[in-house]
């Protein structure tokens, strides 16, 4: 296995002077190390395409390499700037891509990662990006990093290192606890689900939010037998939950649609706020659970607690906006907002943390789709 500290040193020795990307569970120890040791040369980007653009700007200004890290699912966000900006046929901008290989063939993973795991090598080939699978030893990893950095600089193009599960040793780093006095997400979700009606539609974001919605419903007996129809648990496509919810709200104007979003997901595709705000969707309630962290993949910080989300939503056209931090305030504001017309935006500031025994949905995405469509009809 690779010591994160040694790997970061290797990248520096080979000319990497800037780090940017979107956190990934396979890369969490590398990212934690970078966040601590390269604090002034590190930016956690809103999405992977932004990270590629940041790396391009860094090279243009300094002539130095940047390391862009991402989960392989994030390659979709990165494709456009990789082929229309960094590619040798356009500007020819060198950078080193570090890509976590979720669902590598033969390695069990969640359903949303399976297809991406299969196509990761082929996609890099299609994009014309030379790559190697990062060897899981310090000496061999140093050699691979040197190959990628030298190749990127010499050939003026992105090079990639694909990282298998379990490649890095653990690197200790405290989670962001900026709102440690607030509620845990599961408590906030429990309160929200308690006040919704039987016909209200819930669309929840990827990661621990959807896992907790499933666990809460199951514990309360709110799913009937094998039917889990009341919620659409968005297990993948981070950042798109609010747009899925808006699509439903536009088609089902007689049903309240509640989007349970996260700060990292909202930031990833924040343009959706403008689309929702001007949509006039009176039946849309957008709740963002904001803990200022990418908690599901390691707890790395987002800028969620450094910006005024309600003010942004109001500027985008949401009819009503609010922000709360305590259970009492959440109960009070929900009873008020549920009587108002949307689009409504509610920020719930929470602290980082979840149960160690938190499970995952036990129903397949395909079956969930079928049951959810019955619920909507």
Domains of the chain, CATH where assigned? 4-163 (3.40.50.970), 185-376 (3.40.50.970)
- The encoded tokens of residue 4 equal 């994160």
What's the pLDDT tens digit per position in 56-80?
999 999 999 999 999 999 999 999 9
The CA distances from residue 298 to 174, 175, 208, 212, 218, in Å, are 10, 8, 12, 17, 26
Q: Maximum distance among all alpha carbons in the chain?
A: 63
What's the pLDDT tens digit per position in 186-221?
999 999 999 999 999 999 999 999 999 999 998 888
Please give the helix or strand (H or E) that residue 161 lies within, else none: strand 158-163
What's the pLDDT tens digit per position in 306-363?
999 999 999 999 999 999 999 999 999 999 999 999 999 999 999 998 888 888 888 8
pLDDT confidence tier of residue 174, bands split at 50, 70 and 90: low
Of the listed ranges 134-143, 215-224, 270-279, 297-306, the one predicted with least confidence: 215-224
- The encoded tokens of residue 316 equal 């985008």
Q: Specify whether the backbone of 128 is left (phi greater than 0), alpha (psi in -120 to 50) or beta.
A: left
Task: Give the contacts of 163 (CB within 8 A, at least 6 positions apart).
Answer: 26, 27, 30, 98, 99, 100, 101, 133, 134
Please give the helix or strand (H or E) that residue 277 lies within, else none: helix 272-277
Q: Which of 165-179, 180-194, 224-238, 338-352 has the highest mean pLDDT?
A: 338-352
Of the listed ranges 192-196, 238-242, 325-329, 367-371, the one predicted with least confidence: 367-371
Q: Is the pTM of this model over 0.85?
A: yes
Does the pLDDT value for residue 176 go beyond 60?
no
Please give the Cα distance from 143 to 36 (Å, whole number): 24
The DSSP code sequence of 38-58 is SGGGEEE-SSHHHHHHHHHHH
pLDDT value at residue 355? 86
Match 């494709």 to its residue by tokens: 79
Q: What percent of the chain has pLDDT over 70?
A: 96
């Amino acid at each position: 296995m690779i010591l994160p500290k040694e790997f970061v040193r290797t990248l520096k020795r080979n000319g990497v002077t800037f780090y940017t990307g979107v956190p990934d569970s396979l890369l969490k120890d590398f990212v934690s190390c970078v966040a601590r040791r390269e604090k002034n040369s590190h930016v956690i980007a809103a999405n992977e395409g932004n990270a590629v653009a940041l790396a391009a700007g860094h090279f243009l200004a300094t002539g130095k390499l940047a390391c862009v890290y991402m989960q392989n699912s994030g390659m979709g966000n990165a494709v456009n700037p990789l082929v229309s900006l960094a590619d040798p046929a356009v500007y020819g901008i060198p950078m080193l891509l570090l890509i976590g290989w979720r669902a590598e063939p033969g390695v069990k993973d969640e359903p949303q990662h399976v297809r991406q795991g299969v196509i990761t090598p082929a996609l890099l080939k299609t994009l014309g990006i030379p790559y190697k699978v990062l060897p899981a030893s310090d000496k061999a990893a140093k050699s691979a990093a040197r190959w990628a950095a030298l190749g990127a600089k010499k050939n003026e193009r992105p090079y990639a290192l694909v990282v298998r599960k379990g490649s890095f040793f653990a690197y200790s780093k405290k989670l962001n606890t900026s709102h440690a006095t607030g509620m845990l997400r599961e408590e906030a979700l429990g309160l929200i689900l308690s006040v919704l009606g039987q016909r209200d539609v819930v669309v929840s974001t990827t990661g621990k939010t959807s896992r907790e919605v499933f666990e809460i419903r199951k514990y309360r007996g709110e799913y009937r037998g094998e039917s889990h129809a009341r919620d659409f648990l968005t297990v993948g496509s981070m950042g798109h939950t609010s747009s899925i919810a808006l699509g439903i709200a536009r088609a089902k104007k007689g049903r309240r649609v509640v989007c349970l979003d996260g700060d990292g997901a909202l930031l990833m595709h924040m343009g959706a706020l403008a689309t929702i705000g001007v949509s006039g969707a009176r039946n849309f309630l957008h709740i963002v659970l904001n803990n200022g962290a990418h908690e599901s993949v390691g707890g790395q910080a987002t800028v969620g607690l450094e910006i005024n989300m309600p003010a942004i939503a109001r500027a985008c056209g949401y009819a009503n906006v609010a922000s709360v931090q305590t259970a009492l305030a959440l109960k009070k504001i929900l009873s008020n907002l549920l009587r108002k017309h949307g689009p409504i935006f509610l920020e719930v500031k929470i602290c980082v943390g979840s149960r160690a025994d938190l499970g995952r949905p036990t129903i397949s995405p395909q079956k969930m789709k079928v049951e959810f469509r019955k619920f909507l009809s």
